[in-house]
Homo-oligomer: A and B are copies of this chain.
Amino acid sequence: MNILTDIAALRETLRGEKNIAFVPTMGNLHEGHLALIEQANRLSGCVVVSIFVNRLQFLPHEDFERYPRTLEEDCRALSALNVKTVFAPNEKILFPTPQEFLLALPPVADILEGKFRPGFFRGVATIVLKLFNIIQPDLAVFGKKDYQQLHIVREMVRQLNLPVNIVAGETVRATDGLALSSRNQYLNGTQRAEACHLYQTLLRIKQKIISGCNDFQALQENASNNLAQRGWKVDYISIHRRSSLLPAQAPDQDLVVLGAAWLDKTRLIDNLEIEPPIFLK
């Protein structure tokens, strides 16, 4: 397995490759990442995984410094999946000078995560654009766990005419339903036991919508209140259209319910797609 830290060496390694599949990560790989990489393996014989903790997408008060960095373990896991090429640059390689060219994003980047983490998607979009330009993949796999990120990357590809296909990977969950995330390791035992209730809450909303409930406002408020009573600090529980990711007004659409909430100092996010009831009858 080639672990490359240099852009020129990476490009040389990939020269002449057809059908490059790319999976960007911030490392600290868990089963969720590995599922995306297995998906890439099924789609391509040349999978590139990047490992880079991107400072641009952390807010000043966020956990950039303490974000877990586990390159050796990550590389063992990638090697076991037969990944041939890992791109693990340091900050000087990707930001030799301060990053002044950034992307300005549409309003959909200012809701949900963007509202609570202003600048987050600008940082994500900019690093994804840079990595696409470096690796020049034919396809890239992004997890549905970060649903809004997936939406924004797809829109970026469309509006900037990037020659890459975006493939969505399903969220991987623990047996109790908790979506896998690098941040789960910040949870203590009690918090870990409680954490599945974010998923449970979204699941109940999904079931209620499927069974015909269309008072989205009440569903969102009840869910938030229930979580708050259990000790969570809720950023949002919100029902949106899948196509535009704008807030949903009517039930007869492709929907997704998204949530973000804190257990003490750990912020968890999750979402569930909802098939429109009309298809279920």
Contacts and interface: CB of A to CB of B under 8 A. Distances in A.
A134 B99 CA distance: 24
A103 B101 contact: yes
Contact of A159 (B97, B104, B155, B163): B97
Contacts of A107: 100
Interface in A123-159: 125, 129-130, 133-134, 136, 155-156, 159
A130 B103 CA distance: 13
One complex includes copies of this chain to the number of 2
A156 B101 contact: yes
Classify chain A: how many residues form its interface, as a range: 20 to 34
Contact of A101 (B130, B136, B159): B159
A203 interface: no
A160 B105 contact: no
Contacts of A133: 160-163
A106 interface: yes
B130 A160 contact: yes
Nearest to A100: B106
A103 B104 contact: yes
B100 A163 contact: no
- Across the A-B interface, the 3 shortest Cβ-Cβ residue pairs: A100-B106, A101-B159, A133-B161
Given A100-B155, A130-B161, 9 more contacts: A11-B163, A100-B106, A100-B107, A101-B156, A101-B159, A101-B160, A103-B104, A134-B161, A134-B163
24 contacts: A7-B161, A94-B161, A97-B159, A99-B159, A100-B107, A100-B155, A100-B159, A101-B104, A101-B156, A101-B159, A101-B160, A102-B103, A102-B104, A103-B103, A103-B104, A104-B122, A129-B160, A133-B160, A133-B161, A133-B162, A133-B163, A134-B161, A134-B163, A136-B163
